[in-house]
Structure 1
Amino acid sequence: MTTMSWEDLVTSALLGTDRRPLPPGARTRPPAAGATAPQGPRQRGATAEGTGALDAGSVDAGDGHAGAVDAGDGHAGAVDARTEGTGKEGTRRQGTGPGSTGQPLDAPLALLGAAAVQTVRRRAGLVPAVAAPLPPPAPGDARPPLPEAAARRLAQLLADRPSAGGGGRRGAAPDLTELLPQWLAAAAAYGYRAPAAALPALLDAARSRTDLRPQALAFGGPRALWLAGFNPEWRFALRGASGGTALPAPEDSGGVRRLWEEGLFAERVALLGAVRAHDPGAALRLLASTWAKERAEDRLMFLDSLRTGLSPADEEFLEGALSDRSRNVRSAAAELLSALPGSAYAARMAARAASCVGLDHTAGQPTVAVEAPHECDAAMQRDGVVPQPPAGRGKRSWWLGQLVEAAPLAVWGERLGGRTPEEVVALPVADDWRDELHAAWCRAAVRQRDAAWSRVLLGPASAPLSAGPGAASSAALLSTLPDGERAEWVAAFVASHGLPEAFQLLGVCAVPWSGALGRAVVDALDVAREAGGYPWSFSGVMGLAERCLDPAEAGRLESMTAASDEGGDAAPGAGGYWAEAFQRLVATLRLRAAMHEELAGRTG
């Protein structure tokens, strides 16, 4: 087959000349009048289609061989007589064939028409490819289906997208993207399975929002993991779950061993967690069997699974991990050991911390004296003490904080004269070491989940802010308290100090907020509105209220949805902005109530 460029082909069509070399015996003129030229398959197709253009058999516009002369049908190189009349003496000719109007056509249009016909013919003549093997069928999901109304609501939530323009007014409509996590949590509580049609959108949402992934994958179940295997953009689902593989029963030792040795990383993480929840000792033995061969990042993930069911039986393994070649693994092992007050590690750290902190008996009143370490020796480093401090931090204070943080809190009562936690925390501290020492005690209370020490270090909620541990430390300490006590403390804090310092504290409270906490937040928002400023300074708290207030509060908030009269000191338009913010809050609360009704199957 001989080819020519599109430029030559177009020139040939326009000027009535054909620059293609023709094979021997090819006709260069059309047959005589009345004669019938034998037609090959491609020529017959072109004539039947009546394109009124160049012979489609001579132009293959779709396969990269433009202008090729077809030499395989018995009429190779023949130039269709219909190309005549496009020379210099005339650039138009009569259209022919079925559907033709008989009107002259421009030669370029004729050429393009022929190319289009040939493209369709070439595609129609393709031989079907060999069918690929079918994918394995999706696994079953025995959970009950969503109620119809709830399924429609899910589609609405998944279809909503955050606005691209950030910063402007949000309007009075609820933000559906912020309600999706709460909807997923509620659906999980009911034990529903995700509709098959919603799985692609659910995986897309989880891909763009990492905070959604645990809930979205749990709701999607094995079918979501199965589907994720067909799209590279959804591979994140396979990294954080079992990959769609059904885990063997924890008591099936053969199946557990086989999957542990042959499974993907995600499958092994899920397997270790399942075995740990069933039999902590068996999980530890499973992990120890391959520990030396695991990658550092995998060892860190596996080590985290030991938090479930942590007990003195894990001490020997964790002691060995203190010598791990990865610093992150050593730090994780040290943190776990410090949560075992009776461990040898805890005793070593208690001895080091006690040598640095004690009572000063020469002062006029009992005072805590501090002598920070002068070096960070190899033994300290093996026990997880990081030698190099962050920028702006002194080495000695950095080492001291790590020692006190890892020491059991029980050591301080004995070390400081048999005092209670309240009395220990109330003691004055010499040489400006108080903030450093108290901050380390706060971290120790959080690490050891010691509610008694947390209460003392938090202090009364009405105390001056300067006397407290700070918002971040307070939020961490609150996480060790029971839900009811936590909400009560934060409600008292909001009533005393307002909302500017309360955002982190509100974030650790159970949802929905208790009645007392919800009322405290709404009252504080009302006070802020009366002050005459704009609501944007409280947008974070308002967003939390939309997600966390009890929906039953919607009726109580109705009176705040009307624009209030603006006083002389009020910012221009502030009343309208506050009314809009409260309208959105009320609408969101009512939507949340409707969502729960739908999930409960009480709506059509």
Structure 2
Amino acid sequence: MSSTTAAVDASLPDRWEELVTTALLGTDRRTPPGVAPGPRAPSALLDAAAVATVRRRAGLRPAPAAERLRPAPDDPRPALPTAAARRLAVLLSDRPGASGGGRRGTAPDLMELLPQWLHAANARGFAAPPQALPALLDAARGRTDLRPATLRFAGPRALWLARLNPDWRFALRAAPGGGASAPDPKDGEGIRRLWQEGLFAERVTLLTALRSRDPAAARDLLAETWAVERAEDRLMFLDSLRAGLHPDDETFLERALADRSRNVRATAAELLSALPGSALAARMAVRAAACVAVDRTRDVPTIVVEAPHECDAAMERDGVVAKAPAGRGERSWWLGQLVEATPLDTWPRRLGGRTPEEIVALPVADGWQDELHAAWCRAAVRQRDAAWSRALLGEPSAPEAGGPGAVSLAERARLLATLDAGERAVWVAGFIETHGLSEAFQLLGVCAVPWAAPLGRAVVDALNIARDAGSYPWSFSGVMGLAERCLDPSEASRLDALLAVPDEPEDAAPGAGGYWSEAFQRLVTTLRLRAAMLAELTPPVPAP
């Protein structure tokens, strides 16, 4: 032991946290007790740490040997092609750089391509390379949107690793029985034991997995312990019934209408109203039909509304919230909830056999149109009714870009989500051609990837128009980022004409042409990279 060590040892209490703090601050700012500042302070700190380490270890009692680690489970899926494995390593090594002035250059954002790569790899059934698993789990730890695809791709070895590293515990919460051995689907006793003894996250994931496999068994399992569950847990468990909602769930949901928790009652009522054949839907239809009718005595048939004058106990039991939000009239609030929960096939029968388009086109008396149409919008989304969504959306070229019920872009996006992918793309393309890109970002987010040809052409044409107008591309950075991820890679060759720096009109923003050229070069480079990624994940078919 050096003389410095001896001097420190004589005066220094074994305060490990204090040594750590000193090391973090640096000996220029702080030294161990009994040591003067100067060039010998760093070595004195290290000597003190060595002495403290010996003391700490000497105080430990011998412990029995830990159980030998079990080997990681096998993954029977085929291995990635070599080129695809190299591409994955490159995608995982990319880190978004700091952007000081909004100029991204022409390099693709590789981390934004990782979700698409994972989707393609999962669709082809490949297993993750073992050496890539830590980086995959690290990426998913920082981005929750990556977790489902990452855990599917990583397979059973991800759970094995997650049990060894607390940073990856999210993998255990996201997998059924991840924190313990997942019971066999045929092991009824094991499933019941995990349901009764498992952690809350394990129980939620177990219920979700069982629901996808055997809805009745999941419902029965939930009913066994429903009365003793906490209110917040009952709400989460009830929410799991959304997947695969079936008329057989009605009896259980009717019981939940009498729950002591208002949130549980409201969720049960919402789920029942999504079952058009349920008793609750029928009760709501009777109430709503009494409020809405067609007045045929006028020159033009007109919808007239007489909103409820009170919210009685039966309405509250069926999920109607009595207290209106601030600034909202009580009667319109109650009416909206009744109409929203009413099966949409009620209205053609009630309103003279008219189609949804004809009903939406009718005038509504006394200023009730916005409230009534907005409630029909919510009903169309809840019941996934494409015919009503189509009527409420209207023509994309309309001045207001939608039917009168589509009062916001967010609401239009929800209505569009009820249509099939092709119809959705055509509607949004028509919207862009009439109204441009500035209003279209939310609508593009609900379109299937890769974008269908009409939608892709509409987006590129609108970007080209914005470039020719001389505006900065930063206003369209969100749409450009979506295009990099969602345009069909086959569109790359059609964009070559946009790579040159355009002539700037007199009123153009200075330097805008160069920024646009960079943005289009990045778009083309990204599309070609996506095409290469897909090719690497698609091994050539051997010749016969």
- Gaps of at least 5 residues in structure 2 are 15-38
- Distance in 2 (alpha carbons) for counterparts of 1:111 and 1:595: 51
Report SS of the residue matched to 1:230: coil
Q: State the secondary structure of the residue aligned to 1:359.
A: strand
Please tell me whether residue 441 in structure 1 is matched to residue 379 in structure 2.
Answer: no
Counting only pairs closer than 5 Å after superposition, residues 196-207 of structure 1 correspond to structure 2 as 196-207=130-141
Name the CA distance, whole Å, in 2 between partners of 1:378 and 1:366.
35
Which whole-Å CA distance do the structure 2 matches of 1:297 and 1:111 have between them?
54
How do residues 100-499 of structure 1 correspond to structure 2 at under 5 angstroms?
119=50, 130=63, 131-165=65-99, 168-242=102-176, 243=178, 245=180, 247-465=182-400, 468=403, 469=406, 470-499=408-437
SS in 2 for 1:564: coil
**Partners of 2:504 and 2:101 in 1: how far apart?**
24
Deviation string 1:138-166 (CA, Å, 9 cap, x unpaired) is: 33322222223222222222222233446
The verdict on how the C-alpha distance between 1:110 and 1:347 changes in structure 2, with shifts beyond 3 A counting, is closer
Deviations 1:379-417 (A, max 9, x none): 222211122333332222221111100000011111112
Indicate the SS of the match to 1:465: coil
Q: Is the 8 A contact 1:358 1:370 kept in 2?
A: yes
Work out the CA distance in 2 between the residues paired with 1:170 and 1:561: 16
Does residue 512 in structure 1 map to residue 450 in structure 2? yes
> CA 1:360–1:178 in structure 2 vs 1: closer, same or farther (change >3 Å)?
same
Q: In 2 relative to 1, CA 296–572 (structure 1 residues): closer, same or farther, beyond 3 Å?
A: same
CA distance in 2, matches of 1:343, 1:400: 20
Q: 2:515 aligns with which of 551, 557, 577?
A: 577
**Residues 1:375 and 1:164: Cα distance change in structure 2 (over 3 Å):** farther
| Equivalent in the alignment of 2:474 | 536
Structure number, greater radius of gyration: 1
CA contact (8 A) 2:9 2:48 kept: no
* Cα 1:373–1:124 shift into 2, 3 Å: closer
Change (3 A) 1:64 1:317: same
The alpha-carbon distance between structure 1 residues 441 and 125, as it changes in their structure 2 partners (threshold 3 A), is: closer
Deviating 4+ runs (over 6 angstroms): 108-115, 124-128
Conserved 8 A contact 1:207-1:233: yes
Matches of 1:332 and 1:181 in 2, distance apart?
Answer: 32
The 10-residue stretch of structure 1 (233-242 or 545-554) with the greater mean CA deviation from structure 2 = 233-242
Distance 1:382 1:344, change over 3 A: same
Q: 1:355 to 1:223 in 2, by over 3 A?
A: same
Shift of residue 502, structure 1, vs aligned partner = 1.3
Give the aligned partner of residue 553 of structure 1.
Answer: 491
Q: What is the one-letter code of the residue matched to 1:318?
A: L
Distance in 2 of aligned mates of 1:505 and 1:460? 14
Query: In the alignment, which of 505, 508, 513 is matched to residue 567 of structure 1?
Result: 505
Following TM superposition, by how much is the alpha carbon of 1:515 offset from its aligned partner in structure 2, in angstroms? 1.2
SS in structure 1 of the partner of residue 207 of structure 2: helix
Rounded Cα–Cα distance in structure 1 between residues aligned with 2:221 and 2:48 = 67
What SS is found at the alignment partner of 2:127?
coil
Q: Is this contact kept in 2: 1:503–1:540, CA < 8 A?
A: yes
Which runs of 5 or more structure 1 residues have no equivalent in the other structure? 1-45, 47-52, 67-107
Q: Secondary structure at the match of 1:544?
A: helix
Structure 1 residues 147, 123: CA separation in 2 closer, same or farther (over 3 Å shift)? farther
Deviation string, structure 1 residues 584-603 (Cα, Å, up to 9, x no partner): 10111111112112222469
The answer to which of 356-365 and 486-495 deviates more is 356-365
The equivalent of 2:24 in structure 1 is none
Tell me the TM-score normalised to structure 1 length: 0.78
Identity of aligned residues (%): 68
Establish whether residue 503 from structure 1 lines up as the match of residue 438 from structure 2. no
1:503-551: CA deviation from partner (whole Å, max 9, x where unpaired): 1111111100111111111111111111111111111111110000001
AA matched with 1:138: A
Provide the rounded CA distance (Å) in 1 between the counterparts of 2:345 and 2:52: 87
Deviations 1:53-98 (A, max 9, x none): 7497x557499479xxxxxxxxxxxxxxxxxxxxxxxxxxxxxxxx
Q: Which one-letter code corresponds to 1:564 in the other structure?
A: P
Question: 2:377 and 2:503 mapped to 1: Cα distance?
Answer: 46
Pairing 1:524–2:479 present: no
- TM-superposed CA distance for 1:571, in Å, is 1.2
Shift in CA distance, 180/166, structure 1 to aligned 2, threshold 3 Å:
farther
Give the secondary structure class of the aligned counterpart of 1:569.
coil
Provide the aligned length of Structure 1 versus Structure 2: 511
Give the Cα–Cα distance (whole angstroms) in 2 for the partners of residues 502 and 109 of structure 1. Answer: 66
What's the offset of the Cα at 1:319?
0.6
Cα 1:109–1:304, aligned 2, differ >3 Å: closer, same or farther?
Answer: closer
| CA distance in 1 between partners of 2:99 and 2:348 (Å) | 56
- Please state whether the residue corresponding to 2:86 is helix, strand or coil: helix
